[in-house]
Amino acid sequence: MTSKITTKNRIEDRFYEGERPLYALGETELDHVRFYPGESPLKHSHDIVIRGCDFMGKYPLWHSERVLIEDSLFTVYARAAIWYTQDLTMRNCTIEAPKMFRRVSHLTIENTCFPNAGETLWTCDHITLDNLTLKGADYVFMNCEEIKIDAMTLQGNYSFQDAKNVTIRNSHLASKDAFWGAENVTVYDSVIEGEYLGWHSKNLRLVNCTIRGEQPLCYAQDLVMENCRMEDTDLCFEYATLKADIKTDIISIKNPKGGSIKARSIGEIIIDENCITPGACTIETELQDVA
């Protein structure tokens, strides 16, 4: 949560345009203010409360500190709106602009919709998200760290690349190539669908999750799956080390590197000449030990 903000001034029912109209503004509440085309209207601001405002120009909040934003709109023209900022909370907003949030630290977002979320949230840290919808969200959360998420719906590919220390609950991710190279990620009670999930990840843990898509979880290191479902998944776990408890059928697995896999049934087990460590992974089904 954002640190306590004390405001001494108030601006209401005004509009601004051009470059830097409220540069370095501090200790001010903005109520139903419209920012028309221009650049950097609130750059280097601090201790700002923003309510019911519309942003229609580029780069409105760069290098800012201690900001609360509620019930506001960032139009598509407000691209790259919030970069290099610390200690910001956003609630009940609509974010139409892409490339939101770069190098932002201590960020909380609640009840907010991102209909065009491409390249949002890059190299941010200490992030708390609750009840978010992100669409068109290719390459979100890249290189982010210390993330807590609850009730997020995400549609977009290549999410969470190289992210670290992430906890996700009660969410639905439709994302090809999610969690590539990610470290220390735990996902609870969620659906993840899309090809090539979690390749090259480290310490990815999936609990009570449903996984859909081709060739998931290859090259994963120290993967843990607890009470999970896998639907329409084939060629799983190639060169992965894992401990997997799967409550459904798996179409096929291929050349796991080590650990154990339990499933209701497995349509095909491929252990060929390219297997790095034959026999190092124990594979079981409900019917019998098959490898």
What's the confidence (pLDDT) of residue 1?
Answer: 54
Where do the domains of the chain lie?
Answer: 6-116, 117-291
Q: What is the mean pLDDT of residues 123-141?
A: 98
pLDDT digits (tens, 9 = 90+) for 100-112: 999 999 999 999 9
**C-alpha distance across the termini of the chain, in Å:** 51
Q: Which of 59-63, 76-80, 200-204, 284-288 has the lowest mean pLDDT?
A: 284-288
Give ∠ CA 164-185-267 in degrees, rounded to 5. Answer: 135
Q: What are the tokens at 162?
A: 């190289």
pTM, full prediction: 0.95
Say what percent of the chain tops pLDDT 90.
Answer: 96
How high is the mean pLDDT of the chain? 96
pLDDT at residue 286, as a whole number? 83
Which tokens go with 239? 């060169």
The confidence score (pLDDT) of residue 201 equals 98
- Residue 56 above 90 pLDDT? yes
The pLDDT of residue 287: 63
Residue 31 has pLDDT above 60, yes or no: yes
pLDDT of 279 higher than 70: yes
For the cut 90, the answer to whether the pLDDT of residue 139 exceeds it is yes
- Encoded tokens for 35: 């920012």
Reduced to 3 states (helix: H, G, I; strand: E, B; else coil), residue 280 is coil
pLDDT grade for 34, boundaries at 50, 70 and 90: very high
| Interacting residues of 241 by C-beta distance below 8 A, sequence separation 6+ | 220, 221, 222, 223, 256, 257, 258, 259
CA distance 62 to 174: 31
* 6 — pLDDT class (breaks 50, 70, 90): confident
Q: What is the pLDDT of residues 150-177, one digit of tens each?
A: 999 999 999 999 999 999 999 999 999 9
> Average pLDDT in the 60-77 region?
98
Report the candidate in 161, 110, 158 with the shortest Cα–Cα distance to residue 133: 110
| pLDDT tier at 2, thresholds 50, 70, 90 | low
Question: What is the DSSP annotation of 131-170?
Answer: EEEE-S-TTTTTT-EEEEEEEEEEE-SSTTTT-EEEEEES
Q: How large is the average pLDDT for residues 235-239?
A: 98
Four-CA torsion 25, 27, 30, 31, nearest 10 degrees: -170
Where does 43-124 show beta strands of DSSP type E? 46-51, 54-55, 61-62, 65-70, 73-74, 82-83, 86-91, 94-95, 105-114
pLDDT at 239: 98
Q: Report residue 3's pLDDT band, with 50, 70 and 90 as the boundaries.
A: low
Are the C-beta atoms of residues 72 and 54 closer than 8 Å to each other?
Answer: yes
**pLDDT over 60 (residue 291):** no
Nearest to 203 by CA among 189, 224, 218, 226: 224
Query: What does the DSSP 8-state code read for residue 286?
Result: S
